[in-house]
Structure 1
Amino acid sequence: MTSWFRHGPARPEATARLFCLHHAGGGASSFAGWAALAPAEIDICAVQLPGRESRMAEAPVTDMGALAARLADAMEPRLDLPYALFGHSMGARLACATAATLAARGLPAPAALIVSASRAPHHPPLAPDLHELPDERFAEALAALGGLPDAIRRSSEMMAMTMRVARADFAALETWHPPGDLRVPAAILALGGADDRGVPRSALESWADLADGGFRLRLFPGGHFYLKDQPGAVVAEACSALFRGLDAAHRRGRDGARPVRQEAHP
């Protein structure tokens, strides 16, 4: 199961864990450097999905439910610490599906779900499906999102690998039909780029409908991949959400009540 995760340096003093799920076509390397930016109390655990980077020999998974189930299997031995899930773009939807899968199994719920640059599953699609487009149009769509760095576009071999994985990821993303009663047993923090035309504020706000533990919204300068330009601020916000969730859980245990708070910060 170790192939599912990439950890930073060992943190024996860690008291909580942040699982980080990457965007469609990406990999665990998206979170390189995050461990150095996080407090010593938090273990940063980057998820590596099949079909890319260190798992390139494996076939990517095209079914979101199956992918969430397999990730939940891999996560289960690592739920020895309180944890949160962070997901960017497709990773946000997968984080949501995985949280629901873990809850259905009676396993510990996350202290927080941090969703980035993604609409909630029940929010209407904001663009036509991409995974069945011809290669040229699919590549253009990825480039428009900012998901095709120049180094990849200059290499036919890297383009072929990226397109294969991204198409599978978008298939999983665009064919997922979650149940209408889907809820997340945690507080939700929605993050996004103020200039992300593909995921406007209204799409981020739709996550509030799924939160059983309160909702907050935080916008950063930038577009869909805003987090590449300001990883320190994003890590700080995600870790703060994790600590808030742990504090809320402590208060619920002490007072026997679940506080639900709706907040939105510009």
Structure 2
Amino acid sequence: MSRATPWLPFGEPPAARPRLYCLPNAGAGAASFAPWRRLVGAGVTLCPVQPPGRAERFREAPHTSVDTLVDALADALHEQFTGRYALYGHSVGALVVFELVRRLRRTGRPLPVHLFVSGRAAPQLPDSRAALRDLPTDELIDELARMGGTPPEVLRERSLMDSLLPLLRADFAVNETYVHRPEPLLDLPLTVFGGHADPRADEPELAAWREQTSGPFVLRMFPGGHFFLHDHAKTLIQEMARPLTG
């Protein structure tokens, strides 16, 4: 690995290596994928992406629009998106990687060999759930508790939550203000992962991602809720590494 950049805090891998770039869910950062780096095989470099507003980038304002976030990401890492690479995003991260691929296609950049998403309804579907970004603090904390993924002791610590909620609200805005614009179908393999008990994306909503690609499509469901990925990380990583090493 070469020097770290704000977007890739674990370092920029050589473009000659197969790479898997991972975009986190709302409120999370690159560190959420750190344990995955020990699980990926030697032939693939796992690259957790750090959007603004978290960890060492906490002084930077988080994006509230998927368009500005994708533009900034594509411009900052344009040299990385070449060769043999794949993209993965969970929840709002799924939306980001989907729009990133479409942005790369519009600008004539090399596309990933595979797109992986999880925990989000297909982008063309209307959002039928209540918006989270403007909920009063107590109601938002209750919703976070129902969603899972945040330790109860963190949710109970109001001073800590007061520091985390602005980032969460910004990330929720990225997801909730999104307006889908029809474009030609992607021409690449698309795999969708989901949790059987996910309150944010049910199986039909995940299956609707099929409408976004003319390439091979796979939907894999797992036991668990919105954060099923943590219990099934090894299986997910093995599946995502396969097209990069095969």
Matched with 1:7 is 10
2:207 to 205, 209, 214: 205
Seen in structure 2, the aligned counterparts of structure 1 residues 205 and 152 have a Cα distance that, compared at 3 Å, is same
Quote the Cα distance in structure 1 between the aligned partners of 2:143 and 2:242: 34
Match for residue 94 of structure 2 among 92, 95, 101: 92
CA RMSD of aligned residues (A): 2.0
**Aligned CA distance change for structure 1 residues 189 and 242 (closer, same or farther; 3 Å):** farther
Percent identity between the two aligned chains: 37
Q: 1:104 to 1:162 in 2, by over 3 A?
A: same
Q: In the alignment, what sits opposite 2:26?
A: 24
| Partner AA of 2:10 in structure 1 | H
Q: 1:202 to 1:157 in 2, by over 3 A?
A: same
Q: Which is worse superposed, 147-156 or 129-138?
A: 147-156
Unaligned stretches of 5+ residues in structure 1? 248-266
Distance in 2 (alpha carbons) for counterparts of 1:138 and 1:180: 32
Q: How does 1:93-108 map to 2 (within 5 A)?
A: 93-108=95-110
Give the count of matched residue pairs.
243
Matches within 5 A, 1:185-200: 185-200=187-202
- Mapped contact 1:116–1:192 kept (Cα < 8 A): yes
CA offsets, 1:123-170, max 9 Å, x none? 122411111211111221122111422242243332122211110001
Residues 40/122 of structure 1: CA separation in 2 closer, same or farther (3 Å cut): same
2:20/2:88 contact within 8 Å kept: yes
Give the 3 Å change call, closer, same or farther, for CA 157–242 of structure 1 in structure 2: farther
SS in 2 for 1:5: coil
| 1:52 aligned to which of 51, 54, 64 | 54
TM-score normalised by length of structure 1? 0.85
Counterpart AA for 1:7? F
- What is the letter of the counterpart of residue 5 of structure 2? T
Deviations, residues 220-266 of structure 1 (Å, cap 9, x unaligned): 111110111121111112222545xxx6xxxxxxxxxxxxxxxxxxx
**Whole-angstrom CA distance in 1 between matches of 2:13 and 2:54:** 26
Equivalent position amino acid for 1:99 in 2: V
Unpaired segments ≥5 residues, structure 2: none
Residue 87 of structure 1, CA deviation: 0.4
Match of 2:9, SS?
strand
Change (3 A) 1:157 1:14: farther
Output aligned runs, 1:187-266, within 5 Å: 187-243=189-245
Task: Tell me the equivalent position of 2:70.
Answer: 68
Looking at structure 2, the residues matched to 145 and 36 of structure 1 have their Cα atoms a distance apart, in angstroms, of: 27
The CA distance in 1 between the partners of 2:153 and 2:83, in whole Å, is 38
Q: Which amino acid aligns with 1:129?
A: A
1:101-116 alignment runs, 5 A limit = 101-116=103-118
Alpha-carbon distance, 1:33 to partner: 1.6
1:262 aligns with none
Give the direction of change, closer, same or farther, for the CA distance of 1:133–1:241 in structure 2 (3 Å limit).
farther
1:157-196 equivalence runs, <5 A? 157-181=159-183, 183-196=185-198
Identify the range of structure 1 (166-175 vs 155-164) with the bigger mean alpha-carbon deviation: 155-164
Which amino acid letter does the alignment assign opposite residue 142 of structure 2? E
State the shift of 1:213 in Å: 1.7
Q: Report SS of the residue matched to 2:211.
A: helix
Q: Which runs of 4+ in 1 moved over 6 A?
A: 10-14
